[in-house]
Amino acid sequence: MGLRLKTRLIGSIVVPAAVVLVCFSVALAQTTEQSGAAPSKPAVPTQDLSGVWMGENAPNALLTATNEEPPMTAWGRAQFKNAAGQKLTPQGQSNNDPYSRCDPPGVPRVYLLDGPLEIIQTPNRIFIFYEEGHYWREIWMDGRALPRNPDPAYMGYSVGKWADEMLVVDTIGFNDKTWLDNAGHPHSDALHVIERIRRADHDTLVDDITIDNPKAYMKHWNGQQVFALKRGWHLLEYICEDNMADPPK
């Protein structure tokens, strides 16, 4: 992923007033330590998800909250069996895996990529940029409704709204060319993904994901991804084709 550098600003001001201030600070810190008081934590920003975030221990499969396979329809089981039964390339990739051909991964599989993501907020839109493959999403925040007949796309069409300090994102308009995860769970072009994204604390982002796809699954099922804030990080260039030793044909 490359070497990431953090900058540190060190300054010193040698004046009598500064000496007094330092002495006062040391005394206050000692008093706090002796009293057992916990150091204060940064406040959680309100309706602010901006920053560079890195997924923590992302699984290969977005299993349900009970760690059980989601109940599939006959169509879904057939598609999943077809994905799981493919022979692997020398690089350990499935010949049937769309991402092994450098196709966009889709949602929510995009959260299982290796690199970090960056969230940038504007008044009417929220953008999510992903380092691996340089994929990106656009979440409309201007109050519009989901379109009735969106053009099918790998990453879908997203609208969002705030529910207190939680961002609720509805995404539809997918094609049927992606997997939901690295294990090969399928979906149809009627997939509806609902995300509830919040900061659990200042440095932790939680995305609760609901999969709604009646053609493939007999009921809704849920997954969760957790991300850590990475101060001082920025996204690097990562091109799928440059990192594919021998893309399957």
Q: 197-245, pLDDT tens digit by residue?
A: 999 999 999 999 999 999 999 999 999 999 999 999 999 999 888 866 5
- Whether residue 86 is contained in a domain is answered as yes
What percent of the chain has a predicted confidence (pLDDT) above 90?
Answer: 61
In a domain, 40, yes or no: no
Quote the mean pLDDT of the chain: 82
Structure-token match 């919040």, residue found: 198
pLDDT exceeds 80 at position 114: yes
> What CATH number did the domain enclosing 79 receive?
2.40.128.20
The token pair at 225 is 């991804």
Residue 94: per-residue pLDDT: 59
Who contacts 152 (Cβ-Cβ below 8 Å, separation ≥6)? 173, 174, 175, 176, 189
Instruction: Output the pTM of the full model.
Output: 0.79
DSSP string, 101-128: GT----TTGGGGSSS-EEEEE-SSEEEE
Is the per-residue pLDDT at 196 higher than 80?
yes
Is 34 inside a domain boundary?
no
Q: H or E segment at 170?
A: strand 166-172
Name the more confident of 91 and 22. 91
| β-sheet bridge partners, residue 162 | 167
Range of the domain at 79: 51-243
Q: Is the pLDDT of residue 33 over 70?
A: no
- Mean pLDDT to the nearest integer, 136-164: 97
Residue-wise pLDDT for 48-57, tens only, equals: 999 999 998 7
DSSP states of 53-111: EEESS--SS---TTS-PPPBPHHHHHHHHHHHTPPBPTTS-BTT-GGGGT----TTGGG
Residue 191 lies in a domain: yes
Q: Is residue 187 part of a domain?
A: yes
Confidence band, pLDDT 50/70/90 cuts, at residue 154: very high
Q: Is residue 9 part of a domain?
A: no
Task: Note whether residue 163 is domain-resident.
Answer: yes
pLDDT confidence bin for 42, thresholds 50/70/90: confident
* pLDDT for 102 beyond 80: yes
Which of these, 163, 153, 148, lies nearest to 194 by C-alpha position? 163
- Identify residue 45 by its one-letter amino acid code: P
| 135 within a domain of the structure (yes/no) | yes
Three-state DSSP state, 35: helix
Average pLDDT value for residue range 68-81: 92
Q: Under 8 Å CB-to-CB from 151, ≥6 apart: which residues?
A: 173
Going by pLDDT thresholds of 50, 70 and 90, the confidence category of residue 9 is very low
Residue 21 reports pLDDT greater than 60: no
Average pLDDT, integer, range 11-29: 39
Total number of domains constituting the chain: 1
| Nearest-angstrom CA–CA distance, 187 and 189 | 7
Question: Number of C-alpha atoms within 13 angstroms, CB side, residue 35?
Answer: 9
> Distance between CA 84 and CA 117 in Å, rounded?
28
